[in-house]
Amino acid sequence: MNSSTASQQEEKASLGYGSQGLKSVAEIPEYVETRINTRLKRTRLNLVIKKSLSRPELLEKYGIAKYNLHPNYRFPDSVRDMIPSNVPEYITPPGKNYVKQIVRALYYFKQCALIGPSGTGKTHIVYFIAELTGLPIWEINCGLQTSTYDLCGRYIGLGKENWIDGQIILWCRTGGILYLDEANMMKQDIAARLNPILDTRGHIVLTEKDNEVVNRHRYGYVIISMNPFSSEFVGTKPLNAAFRRRMSVWINFDYLSVGNQISPDEIKLVQKRSGVDEDTATRIVRAGAELRRQYKAGDLPYGPSPGDLINWAVLIADGSTPLEAAEESIIGTTSDDVEIQDIVRRIIKSYFT
């Protein structure tokens, strides 16, 4: 063994679990190529379709260019269509850089957890990061109807001839981001099956398939997201302690605007997506920020997301008055309770009178 080989092995051994080794410049490919070979009469056609995979200027903007999550590795053609494209840029609250926090967590620890109210952009940012880093995404909603058979796989038909891999096994074999949404609604037996994948063992045993051991792909990453555990989010429960400690990094999400803290970016977003003027967009965001403040204080059951505010604004842009549009959108979205709707109605009127 020569000295250079020995030093490379020592360097690799010194890296922590999940670390890929820092790069001064990311080597993320910029395009996905799809090749189509066909014939037209006697002419043979070879087509190459290139799809943009990442946006280099955003890698620099968010400070993630040095975190390459799949160096010198090309994902199989069978999953390259699962790499998102044209995802709208995520608007980060002032003073935060969720994109960098998540990518850095994946780089060093291979997994992280996102927690925050509905509508704070947890799913949006996962897809945005998947596009920026060029990773296919495997999304699973951990609702109460999801079973281990759905996720791990099963035999179909008679006997043991036709085995179909579940989502988790496909991810283990192929790599990319395994996105577990509503993780605190997950059944306990599913969490128990995931534990060996998420620690240093890095594998899952398919007891259903003669105890086959499936190793976690070298570039297989996990992001879980959840709403806060509360009676408001029916079906949620505290995470199992063993599962929880396997998430090395926890990132708390919040709204862009809350109370008196108004984000100019959210005003621009509402204005751009709906077509309302700046004054109307500002009033909409201020009303939404107050509703969110009262939600966080426990006085309302729901705080409006940016999407809720945009829906409200779209109806206004279409010709409805702000109060008429609110009746059709933001008021009903908040609650079915008549008293709570009256509270929301009074708040909205205070910003549009």
- Does residue 135 sit within a domain? yes
151 pLDDT higher than 50: yes
Which amino acid is located at 6 in the chain? A
Residue 42 domain-assigned (yes or no): no
* Parent domain of 245: 56-252
The band of 146, judged by pLDDT with boundaries at 50, 70 and 90, is confident
pLDDT digits (tens, 9 = 90+) for 176-217: 999 999 888 888 888 888 899 999 999 999 888 888 999 999
Among residues 252, 278, 311, the one where a domain terminates is: 252
Q: In 160-255, which ranges are E strands?
A: 163-165, 176-181, 203-206, 212-215, 220-226, 250-252
The answer to whether the Cα torsion of 227, 233, 237, 238 is positive or negative is: positive
pLDDT at 17: 35
Same domain, 309 and 215: no
Mean pLDDT rounded to a whole number for the chain: 84
Residues 214, 65 within the same domain = yes
Instruction: Flag whether the pTM goes above 0.85.
Output: no
Give pLDDT tens digits for 66-87: 999 999 999 999 999 999 999 9
Report the domain count for the chain: 2
Residue 27 near residue 71 (C-beta atoms within 8 A):
yes
Residues 6+ apart with CB under 8 A from 352: 283, 287, 322, 323
Rg (CA), the chain: 24
Instruction: Indicate if 307 and 331 belong to the same structural domain.
Output: yes
Predicted local distance difference test score (pLDDT) of residue 16? 34
Whether the Cβ atoms of residue 32 and residue 83 lie closer than 8 Å to each other: yes
Distance CA 353, CA 345 (A): 12
